[in-house]
């Protein structure tokens, strides 16, 4: 099992996502964050599960039950989540 770590930009993305949904319903903001974190569980055991993009430098993984994608890089000692981006805004990252 390889650890998953969130880069500064990914953590900032998650803060914005939480704030957006918490305005609608505070519990919803937390549920979305829980789904994002839960999506990384498969990457701990299968870090190369997501399709490769950007010239083979990073991968993406869909967060089930949400419109979000995780963009990540597999390093020798960790999976680094680079960004958490809404699929409608993710074209530049794909």
User: pTM of the predicted model, to two decimals?
Assistant: 0.90
Write the class of the CATH domain 4-93. alpha beta
pLDDT tens sequence across 19-38: 999 999 989 999 999 999 99
**What single-letter DSSP state applies at residue 69?**
E
Q: Residue ranges per domain, the chain?
A: 4-93
Tokens of 62: 């869909």
Alpha helices in the chain (DSSP H): 8-24, 26-39, 41-45
Measured CA to CA, the distance from residue 5 to residue 70 in angstroms comes to: 12
**Would you tell me how many other CB atoms lie within 10 Å of the CB of residue 18?**
17
Helix (H, G, I), strand (E, B) or coil at 78: coil
Each residue of 36-56: pLDDT tens digit? 999 999 999 999 999 998 677
């Amino acid at each position: 099992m390889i650890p998953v770590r969130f880069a500064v930009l990914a953590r900032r993305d998650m803060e914005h996502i939480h704030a957006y949904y918490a305005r609608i319903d505070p519990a919803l903001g937390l549920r979305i964050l829980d789904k994002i974190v839960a999506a990384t569980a498969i990457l701990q055991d299968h870090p190369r599960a997501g399709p490769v993009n950007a010239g083979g430098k990073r991968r993406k993984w869909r967060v089930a039950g949400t419109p979000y994608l995780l963009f990540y890089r597999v390093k020798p000692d960790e999976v680094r989540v680079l960004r958490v981006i809404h699929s409608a805004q993710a074209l530049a990252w794909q």
